[in-house]
Amino acid sequence: MVELSQLKAGDALPAFTTPPVTRLTLALYCGASGDHNPMHVDTDYAKAGGSPDVFAHGMLSMGYLGRLLTNWVPQRRIREYGVRFVAITQVGEAITCSGTVTELFEVNGERRARLALQTTNQHGHVKLTGDAVIAIA
C-alpha cells in the first residue's frame, strides 16, 4: 500500500471484493437501514414489478464503496463522497470495489487527494461510480 504522504495521481487504492450478495444480505440490510422496499426482499413482488428477482439496495452498494475508503483511511479524513448508480446489483453478484487517485491539491493548507471510485461485478460490469476527496496531511 502506498504511504499517504507519497501518493501521486494514478495510484490505486487497495481494492476488495465482497462475498456474493445473498437474500440474507438483503434482509439484514433491510432491517439495518430501515429500507423495507419489497423489491429487495420479496421475489413475487419484484417479478410482478418486471424484475427477474429481488436486487440489492443502491445504498448497500454505496456502503460497500464507502468501506473501500474507510479500509484505507480513517473516516475523519473523508472530505467529500458521492456516487452515481449505473446498474442494478443482482443476487449472487460478488462486488469488487476499487479506486484511483486522480488529483492532488491543497485547500486552506490541507493536502488532499481526489479519487475516482467504482464497483464492478464478477463479470466486470460497472454497477456504481463515484468520487471522493480525502485529506492526506
The count of domains in the chain is 1
Task: State residue 2's pLDDT score.
Answer: 62
Task: State residue 88's pLDDT score.
Answer: 95
Domain with residue 121: its CATH number is 3.10.129.10
pTM equals 0.91
Task: State residue 57's pLDDT score.
Answer: 92
For 88, the domain range is: 4-135
Distance CA 73, CA 63 (A): 15
The helix/strand/coil state of 27 is helix
pLDDT in tens, 28-53: 999 999 989 899 999 999 999 999 99
pLDDT in tens, 99-118: 999 999 999 999 999 999 99
